[in-house]
Amino acid sequence: MELLTTQRHEQVRVRRHGVSRRGFLHTVSAGALAAGTLSLRDAMSLQAAELRKQGKSMILLWMGGGPSQFETFDPKPNHANGGETKAISTSVSGIQIAEGWAKTAAVMDELAIIRSMTNKEGSHPRATYQMHTGYIPSGSVKHPSLAASIAKEISNPEFDLPAVVSVGATQGAGFLGVQYEPFMVQDASRMPQNVATGVPTNRYNRRLGLLDRLEDEFADRGGDVVVKNHRDLYGKTSKMVLSSDLKAFDISDEPSSMKEMYGDSNFGRGCLLARRLVEAGTTFVEVSSRGQGGNWDTHDNIYERVGDLTASIDPATAGLITDLKDRGLLENTLVVWMGEFGRTPKINARGGRDHYPRVFNAAMAGCGIKGGQVIGSSTADGTAVADDPVTANDLFCSICKSLDVDPRKENMSPLGRPMKIVDGGAPVEKLFG
């Protein structure tokens, strides 16, 4: 049984990452260049196409509402600002995190915690937008999410399932268009709605043919742009509906022991679905935190509410990292844990913490990230970054480096303005060892 499991994992690696194919392409390209039969531009195009097939992926664990750094990865038990939260040891000597995160503490050797995130946006909508796109909101342009930009660069166009999937609401593809819009899943425990044709495949295809003829007539009358977008959407949807890969959405296939490891919660089931999707070939999956405590906007009763949240998020986070590693997927899957900002150092009159972008946490694992370390620190009272400040764009550049995406790649906005995937910032080199 163990041998069969190992063989299956190796097959997944070959299917998703295409190592030998990429190496062959590199050799052929270099030889052709030397012989003068292939231009540099052609070689770069071939390598870009191959990059889209190598199978790197990202899972974003989105802590919507702004998680408190004190109650997550930067506790201050020896200072009044730390409140009632105690610190616990992790699997890495000298690194402590907040109580309630015991299972995450056990996989600390795979995690890199950033305690020196800093920003200026303290409004939920603006900060959420920025931490998904790398840009502050603008009335003149709808920026693509980082998920869409990454999918455009490295997703496999031949893959039947959506390149971007979100368990819960998220930012859209902006001006990159419907091809990179996230496929929304509201309940990970159930198959997505409206993914069955309802009629035999041949009849379904005849209906699509009729739709094509109607759209041709509409395009001839000046609706060509609308028709193109509609065809892109329907083409991608039909490909998914008719694909055998659709079963990746069905977590009922998983054994009960696996479901227990992730935890019996919406977030746990979302993380389990995320693993299934990246294993199948999806490029980017976002899982939004949900729990009895609602979201992380803990202006009141912070300890009770954080306790409810960590009860579901802690086992799911640890389970995801463990499962990815066991399957040989962590080396090519980047896991990022973050929210839009942190919480105030001082507890307010309602027993909660308010918005605080000046210093907050993020965590990363997999895909070239050196685990078992802490990047940066906050001051003893938690009011400011003490060393190694990391901005949103620094984080985005680091994500791009992990996934072999050029952060300075430009996409053209509808207004004819070239816009970089990440405008400014630099990779945090300590993350990579």
Contact residues for 415 (Cβ-Cβ < 8 A; gap 6+): 140, 141
pLDDT of 419? 96
Interatomic CA distance for residues 379 and 263, integer angstroms: 35
| pLDDT number for residue 335 | 98
Same domain, 228 and 280: no
Q: Residue 140: which pLDDT band, with cuts at 50, 70 and 90?
A: confident
Residue among 344, 357, 359 at smallest CA distance from 121: 357
Q: Convert the pLDDT of each residue in 110-122 to its tens digit.
A: 999 999 999 999 9
- Paired with 97 in beta bridges are 88
Question: Is 251 a domain residue?
Answer: yes
What is the percentage of the chain residues whose pLDDT exceeds 90? 69
Q: How far is CA 77 from CA 87, 218, 336, 345, in A?
A: 6, 66, 26, 12
Number of domains into which the chain is organized: 2
Asked whether residue 31 carries a pLDDT value surpassing 50, the answer given is no
Residues 267 and 285 in one domain: yes
Give the pLDDT band (50/70/90) at residue 217: low
Cβ count near 259 (within 10 Å): 17
Task: Judge if 328 and 390 occupy the same domain.
Answer: yes
Q: 237 and 248: one domain?
A: no
Residue 234 lies in a domain: yes
Instruction: Report yes or no on 12 lying in a domain.
Output: no
Domain of 211? 198-241
Q: What is the pLDDT of residues 319-346, one digit of tens each?
A: 999 999 999 999 999 999 999 999 999 9
pLDDT digits (tens, 9 = 90+) for 283-320: 999 999 975 456 999 999 999 999 999 999 999 999 99
CA gap 253, 241 in Å, rounded: 19
98 and 219: one domain? no
Place of tokens 């764009």: 393
CB < 8 Å & 24+ apart, contacts of 121-125: 121/340, 121/341, 121/357, 122/341, 122/355, 122/356, 122/357, 123/355, 124/65, 124/66, 124/297, 124/340, 124/355
